[in-house]
Amino acid sequence: MKARNYRRPVGQPYVRTEYIHGTPVPRIQKFTMGNPTRTDFNTRVVLVAETDAQIRDNALEALRMAVNKRLEKRLGVENYLFRVKVLPHVVLRENKMLATAGADRLQEGMRRAFGKPIGRAARVKKGTEIAEVRVMREHEEVAKDALRTGSYKLPIKTHLITQYISS
């Protein structure tokens, strides 16, 4: 199946991994990058979802890599804090079907069609914060550009919100 088949959040989320055998490991491992110990950042730029959707773990990893690479290259590791704020905890299933001649002898159709685990996704609702970057005010445009570039890796429309933190 294609990735777009898993974009809409339909039905109950399948999350109880203690009962699921062969659950795939999420492809995204790091959720915080940059300088987490620095506390004087005064600008927060947030990537927000515009629709309800499921975002696969490999899309979140692509977002993380694109944003972090851009921030690290332009600002250096000490001058930003980047966080991915959603967790891919929903297990995706697929009932694999063969589409070749003679396949009718090899598959059962809809009988026992529960499916095997094939990946993970994060369910987001409209208005959910997907990622955030904290920087000093003079680096605000770099943070916006990095999150805008990373948003192209996601299967949904997003927008940016800038918040100024008073110290």
Residue-range definition of the domain harbouring residue 42: 3-164
Question: What would the pLDDT profile of 105-146 be if each residue is shown by its tens digit?
Answer: 667 778 877 888 999 999 999 999 999 999 999 999 999 999
Q: Which DSSP letter does residue 153 get?
A: T
For 17-24, the CB contacts below 8 A with 24+ separation are: 17/91, 20/91, 20/117, 22/116, 22/117, 23/91, 23/117, 23/120, 24/91, 24/117, 24/118, 24/119, 24/120
Who has greater pLDDT, 22 or 11? 22
What's the CATH number where 106 sits?
3.90.1170.10
pTM, 2 dp: 0.87
Domains of the chain: total: 1
Q: Which of 15-19, 60-64, 72-76, 96-100 has the lowest mean pLDDT?
A: 96-100
